[in-house]
């Protein structure tokens, strides 16, 4: 099961990826998580990408594509993966297609107003990287693992606005997957479990 999750910032890609990966025992590959861990560890890559992420811009393809290619070539991806937040532009979609054939491109969609509402209350778990929500915390900690939570740097009101302006999923990426018969769109307006039921219907159709 080789899945890509597309969609605007904050639409619920990471949340659905976690649910898919735990049900189907797949690796969750999030380009955003890879960049954030490099920034936290002050690696060369982290130093290069920080300015783009903090300003709500896309990281250039030359830094992004090779990371995904390397990660997908690792053993744990042989039988499948969930790629969260990649591709975001047509060049990334074409490059990905040149090194792996995916089974489904699922767009997790949501209105800008609801995205702003959710991102302004998002909390991230330091321990398990779970994207969670202020209202879901248990005693101020991650409801999944009890870890400490933090607010992402790019979840400030100004950066959320910049991300929504600069990072709308381009139509040509959607068209690329529509033409291959791989594209499905799900709205994540309902609860995360209800949204997952819709996502899972698509996944079940892939399992032989």
Q: Counting contacts by CB under 6 A, is residue 95 touching ligand AP5?
A: no
β-bridge pairing 183-187 and 104-109: parallel
Q: Are 118 and 196 in contact (CB under 8 A)?
A: no
Clarify whether 163 is annotated catalytic. Answer: yes
Cβ-closest position to Mg ion: 14
Q: Are 104 and 184 in contact (CB under 8 A)?
A: yes
Of 103 and 120, the one with the shorter C-beta distance to ligand AP5 is 120
Mapping DSSP to helix (H, G, I), strand (E, B) and coil, where does residue 84 land? strand
Task: Determine the interface stretch with ligand AP5 among 6-14, 94-102, 142-150, 173-181 (rule: CB under 6 A).
Answer: 6-14
Clarify whether 13 is annotated catalytic. Answer: yes
Of 32 and 80, the one with the shorter C-beta distance to ligand AP5 is 32
Partner touching 81 among ligand AP5, Mg ion, none, CB below 5 to 8 Å by kind: none
21, 29, 163, 203: which one binds ligand AP5 (CB under 6 A): 163
Pick the catalytic residue from 88, 104, 118, 123: 88
Residue 163 CA to residue 152 CA, distance in Å, equals: 13
In whole angstroms, the minimum distance from the beta carbon of 7 to ligand AP5 comes to: 6
Nearest to 182 by CA among 90, 105, 130: 105
Cβ-closest position to ligand AP5: 32
Pick the catalytic residue from 2, 13, 36, 104: 13
In whole angstroms, the minimum distance from the beta carbon of 161 to ligand AP5 comes to: 12
Note the maximum CA span of the chain. Answer: 48
- The sheet with strand 104-109 has its strands ordered as 28-30, 81-84, 2-6, 104-109, 183-187
Q: Counting contacts by CB under 6 A, is residue 192 touching ligand AP5?
A: yes
180 alpha carbon, distance to own chain's centre? 21
Clarify whether 88 is annotated catalytic. Answer: yes
CA distances from 139 to 83, 135, 144, 146, 148 (A): 31, 10, 12, 9, 10
In whole angstroms, the minimum distance from the beta carbon of 75 to ligand AP5 comes to: 23
Q: Which residues contact 119 (CB under 8 A, 6 or more apart)?
A: 9, 10, 155, 160
Q: Which residues are catalytic?
A: 13, 88, 122, 152, 163
Residues of this chain that bind ligand AP5 (CB under 6 A): 7, 9-15, 30-32, 35, 52-53, 57-59, 64, 85-88, 92, 118-119, 122, 131-133, 154, 163, 167, 188, 191-192, 195
């Amino acid at each position: 099961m080789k899945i890509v999750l597309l969609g605007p910032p904050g639409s619920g890609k990471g949340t659905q990826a976690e649910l898919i990966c735990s049900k189907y025992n797949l690796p969750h590959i999030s380009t955003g998580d890879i960049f954030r861990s490099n920034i936290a560890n002050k690696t060369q890559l982290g130093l290069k990408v920080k300015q783009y992420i903090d300003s709500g811009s896309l990281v250039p393809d030359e830094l992004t594509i090779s990371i995904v290619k390397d990660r997908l070539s690792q053993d744990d991806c042989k039988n499948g993966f969930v790629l969260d937040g990649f591709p975001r532009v047509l060049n990334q979609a074409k490059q990905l297609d040149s090194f792996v054939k995916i089974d489904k491109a699922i767009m997790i969609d949501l209105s800008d107003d609801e995205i702003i509402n959710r991102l302004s209350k998002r909390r991230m778990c330091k321990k398990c990287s779970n994207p969670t929500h202020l209202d879901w915390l248990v005693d101020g900690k991650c409801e999944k693992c009890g870890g400490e939570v933090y607010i992402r740097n790019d979840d400030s009101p100004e950066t959320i606005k910049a991300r929504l302006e600069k990072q709308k999923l381009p139509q040509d990426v959607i068209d690329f997957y529509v033409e291959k018969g791989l594209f499905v769109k799900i709205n994540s307006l309902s609860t995360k479990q209800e949204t997952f039921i819709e996502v899972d219907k698509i996944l079940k159709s892939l399992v032989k």
